[in-house]
């Protein structure tokens, strides 16, 4: 990847981009509650597994083959063990980055959290009152983590404060279903404003709590635009293909970086050009994967049963 200019603006840009993961976790909790709160446990489990696992495994296998130049005999035992743990969603330290809890396909670290949250949500469906059950379980785990400060990868992952973002997302979903978010649009702009000033206020607000607060305001404000908002075909396509883009972009970044280095630019021109080029290339590749791999796979494994979307004024039936 081209060198990032070392100044305050680039550092601020990177810190802002890190909020994408927090927003992703919040949206996951929101969408799961809105879309799946009335599913039966077997249906919920079947749909989530088929939605997440096949493409993740396929993308991980593709990265393994590309990294070893399509020579399966070049895979070392340590790399194979790392690969196997990753496919099973077992958090572990990466052999190539010993201080990081990363799977073989690095973006899969967020899926370790996601799959665990699915298990918590499933327990909520089984026990009833999913929003209360899931939230209490997540709060308990976070409290255990705050008290014990675990360093073992599995314990550190599943007691992380990031688990609270799923719970907050669920409660944003509860408020949306009950029609309580009609006037929260200003929170979207306030959240982005706080995000911009957050690096300067980091000494006053702990990092994780500041990220959670800013991201929660952004999501709570954004979902209030749901009704009556004009749809844009390109944005819808990118949203539909977001999972494919997320999983496949690490595979494309290395060859894209080599190609971009041939462009005679330096400094900010090189960096901003690389960002634009990589975004377009990864999005285009991800859309192709979505159209010709993910969507056909989902239509075969998990066909969608047409049903009306939940009404934003309807009370939760649980």
pLDDT of residue 76: 85
pLDDT of residue 204: 56
pLDDT of residue 259: 86
pLDDT of residue 241: 94
pTM confidence score: 0.85
Question: Given pLDDT bands bounded at 50, 70 and 90, which one contains residue 263?
Answer: confident
Q: Residue by residue, what is the 3-state secondary structure of the chain?
A: CCCCCCCHHHHHHHHHHCHHHHHHHHHHHHHHHHHHCCCCHHHHHHHHHHHHHHHHHHHHHHHHHHHCCCCHHHCCHHHHHHHHHHHCCCCCCCCCCCCCCCCCCHHHHHHHHHHHHHHHHHHHHHHCCHHHHHHHHHHHHHHHHHHHCCCCHHHHHHCCCCHHHHHHHHHHHHHHHCCCCCCCHHHHHHHHHHHHHHHHHCCCCCHHHHHHHHHHHHHHHHHHHCCCCCCCHHHHHHHHCHHHHHHHHHHHHHHHHHHHCCCCCCHHHHHHHHHHHHHHHHHHHHHHHHHHHHHHHHHHHCCCCCCCCCCCCCCCCC
- List the single range of 25-29, 223-227, 253-257 with lowest mean pLDDT: 223-227
Above 80 in pLDDT, residue 231?
no
- List the single range of 82-91, 157-166, 176-185 with lowest mean pLDDT: 176-185
Query: Region 70-92: what's the mean pLDDT?
Result: 89
Above 90 in pLDDT, residue 280?
yes
Above 70 in pLDDT, residue 122?
yes
pLDDT of residue 206: 61
Query: Region 270-297: what's the mean pLDDT?
Result: 92
- Convert the pLDDT of each residue in 6-53 to its tens digit: 444 445 555 556 678 899 999 999 999 999 999 999 999 999 999 999
Above 90 in pLDDT, residue 270?
no
pLDDT of residue 10: 47
């Amino acid at each position: 990847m081209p060198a990032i200019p070392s100044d305050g603006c680039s550092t601020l840009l990177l810190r802002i981009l890190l909020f994408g993961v927090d927003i992703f976790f919040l949206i996951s909790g929101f969408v799961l509650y809105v879309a799946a709160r009335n599913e039966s446990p077997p249906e919920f489990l079947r749909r989530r597994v088929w939605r997440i696992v096949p493409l993740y495994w396929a993308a991980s296998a593709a990265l393994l083959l590309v990294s070893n130049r399509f020579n399966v005999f070049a895979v070392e035992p340590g790399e194979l063990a790392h690969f196997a743990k990753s496919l099973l969603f077992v958090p572990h330290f990466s052999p190539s980055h010993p201080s990081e809890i990363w799977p073989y396909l690095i973006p899969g670290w967020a899926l370790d959290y996601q799959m665990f949250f699915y298990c918590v949500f499933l327990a909520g469906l089984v026990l009833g009152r999913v929003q209360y059950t899931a939230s209490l379980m997540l709060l308990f785990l976070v409290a255990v983590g705050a008290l014990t400060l675990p360093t073992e990868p599995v314990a550190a992952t599943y007691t992380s404060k990031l688990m609270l973002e799923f719970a907050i997302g669920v409660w944003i979903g509860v408020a949306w279903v009950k029609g309580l978010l009609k006037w929260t649009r200003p929170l979207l702009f306030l959240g982005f404003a706080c995000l911009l000033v957050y690096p300067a206020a980091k000494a006053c607000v702990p990092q994780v709590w500041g990220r959670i607060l800013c991201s929660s305001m952004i999501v709570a404000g954004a979902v209030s635009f749901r009704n009556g908002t004009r749809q844009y075909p390109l944005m819808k396509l990118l949203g539909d293909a977001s999972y494919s883009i997320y999983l496949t972009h690490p595979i494309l970044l290395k060859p894209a970086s080599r190609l971009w280095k041939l462009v005679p630019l330096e400094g900010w021109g090189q960096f901003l050009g690389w960002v634009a080029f990589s975004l377009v290339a990864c999005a285009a590749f991800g859309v192709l994967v979505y159209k010709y791999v993910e969507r056909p796979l989902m239509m075969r494994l998990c066909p969608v049963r047409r049903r009306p979307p939940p009404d934003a004024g309807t009370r939760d039936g649980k």
